[in-house]
Amino acid sequence: MFNLLKTAVLMAAITALFMAIGSLLGGQQGMLLALIVALGMNFFSYWFSDKLVLKMYNAQQVDETSAPQFYRMVQQLAANAKLPMPKVYIINEDAPNAFATGRNPDHAAVAATTGILRTLSERELRGVMAHELAHVRHRDILISTISATMAGAISMLANFAMFFGGRDSEGRPANPIVGLMVAILAPIAAGLIQMAISRAREFEADRGGAEISGDPRALASALQKIHQAAQGIPLEAAERHPETAQMMIMNPLSGGGLRGLFSTHPSTEERVERLLAMSVAPAH
């Protein structure tokens, strides 16, 4: 519930930031133009995201004949989650990772690398795939697309201001110093909010995945194994297409330093801690 509330607050914050920046830098016409362009760009990504990302990763669709154990696992978990059966894919990559894609539960797909199939036990893999199905159930592709649209529109407005000068809500030239500061800081603020939304959705998918699989400890163990194994094994497709890294159960491109604020995923330690707390919480 907390993560749902946090997501709602962050979505409201990025919308309010867009309205404020639009009024200050672009005026009403500039704000509308930026929103329309960003919506167009992200609508295409949202509608075709499953086909695009699966092609980028050279994912191969499997069924009950070609990968019976894995396919039936996903089938059972989808039934637990009361979801339509998604398409199932395997990616020939040594790095252990997995993701979900698709614009809604009726057009969903889940994918796992050969590395994660080798690295995890059956229980742990169930936890991971349940996490991905939780993303499908929560419609996280839609949420991330909306936040990306707002962040993209804010960046576009900032570019307008940088090159053409900002306008206030009545179309008059904005204060150039204020306009320049906002043009520089607004995209950073929008990006931070967008990343915070992504982290909140990961926590919620962990919680939902633990409920779908009924085994929060298995997901916690899987996250620890993925984190450890992924340190020395690059996910080559993600390196070629870094914009897709946020879709993974663990970001394969995240580094150290200030990653707490600038990461699309929470720290593995905090995710594991929350899952272990779920495993010992009294049943209601």
Domain spans, the chain:
2-280
DSSP symbol at 112: E
Provide the 3-class DSSP secondary structure of residue 248. Answer: strand
Q: Given this model, what pLDDT does residue 171 score?
A: 53
Is residue 132 annotated as a catalytic residue, yes or no? Answer: yes
Q: How is residue 116 written in tokens?
A: 């994660």
Provide the 3-class DSSP secondary structure of residue 83. Answer: coil
- CA separation for the pair 165, 174 (Å, rounded): 7
Q: Which residues pair with 26 in a beta bridge?
A: 167
Answer with the residue of higher pLDDT: 221 or 239: 221
Q: Which residues pair with 171 in a beta bridge?
A: none
**Residue (of 281, 11, 227) closest to 140 by Cα position:** 11
| Number of C-beta neighbours around residue 58 at 10 A | 11
Strands 87-91 and 109-113: parallel
Q: Given this model, what pLDDT does residue 205 score?
A: 96
- Which residue in the list 132, 239, 269, 273 is annotated as catalytic? 132
pLDDT-wise least confident of 16-30, 45-59, 87-101, 205-219: 16-30
- CA separation for the pair 94, 108 (Å, rounded): 24
Q: Given this model, what pLDDT does residue 190 score?
A: 81
Report the share of the chain in percent with pLDDT over 70. 72
**Residue (of 259, 180, 270, 254) closest to 220 by Cα position:** 270
Q: How is residue 257 written in tokens?
A: 């330093």
pLDDT tens column, 88-146: 999 999 999 999 998 889 999 999 999 999 999 999 999 999 999 999 999 888 787 77
Residue 162: which residues within 8 A CB-CB, separation 6 or more? Answer: 180, 183
pLDDT tens column, 184-237: 787 888 888 888 888 999 999 999 999 999 999 999 999 999 999 877 788 888
- CA separation for the pair 24, 26 (Å, rounded): 6
Order of strands, sheet of 109-113, starting from the edge strand that comes earlier in the sequence = 60-62, 87-91, 109-113, 98-101
pLDDT tens column, 246-279: 889 998 876 544 455 568 899 999 999 999 999 8
| Direct distance between the N- and C-terminal alpha carbons of the chain, in angstroms, rounded to an integer | 15
Q: Given this model, what pLDDT does residue 197 score?
A: 86
